[in-house]
Amino acid sequence: MEVSELALKGIIELRPRVFEDERGYFFESYNEKVFADHGIDVRFVQDNQSFSTTGVVRGLHFQAPPFAQGKLVRVISGRVLDVVVDIRKESPTYGQSLSVELTGTDQKMLYIPPGFAHGFSVLEDAVFQYKCSNLYHKASEMGIHPLDPDLNIFWGTGSPVVSAKDLELPAFQNFNSPF
């Protein structure tokens, strides 16, 4: 597995070794030892999967401590623009975002530790899968408005489809990070 740390410290891109032949393909999407050897020493306790149509923007979501979650995200089919925003108050990259295209054909994955808001934009109908290091806790669910102009996030879609719930999230300037 090829592992790279991206521009926001803590965000790790993983490219599994894919074995392909006339029957299809096989790859290892998670191996506790390999991940730990690359600094991802986390226990995953919940898997989630969603399907979204082209143009949908989901996020920017996270859970507050002590229920914060690390996430290992990937696209099973389709194509998304995955977005993270650093919400760690003491970080030199606080408020900065990073975008990475994930597809069902390249099998690339991202590890997103606690302390980041996460979202994605669907560039082609997509099945999105993520492993979480903590169970979902409704009362700890938080977020930032995904279309906040101060964040200057390019979502890759001209007219994003955003849930009413996400449109009610606070702007970054009105946001008090719990991290």
CATH number at 57 reads 2.60.120.10
Return the SS3 of 57: strand
Q: What is the pLDDT of residue 158?
A: 87
Consecutive 10-residue runs of the chain (179 residues): their mean pLDDT? 94 95 94 92 97 98 98 98 98 97 96 98 98 98 97 94 97 96
For residue 136, tell me if it sits in a domain.
yes
**Domain range holding 24?**
2-174
For residue 162, tell me if it sits in a domain.
yes
- pTM higher than the cut 0.75: yes
C-alpha distances in Å from residue 41, one per residue of 10, 38, 51, 69, 107 = 12, 8, 28, 13, 21
Indicate the number of domains in the chain: 1
For residue 16, tell me if it sits in a domain.
yes
For residue 79, tell me if it sits in a domain.
yes
Phi, psi of 120 (to 5 degrees): -155, 155
Catalytic positions are 61, 130
Residue 137 amino acid letter: H
Nearest residue to 68 via CA among 149, 10, 121: 10
For residue 153, tell me if it sits in a domain.
yes
For residue 179, tell me if it sits in a domain.
no
Q: What is the pLDDT of residue 54?
A: 98
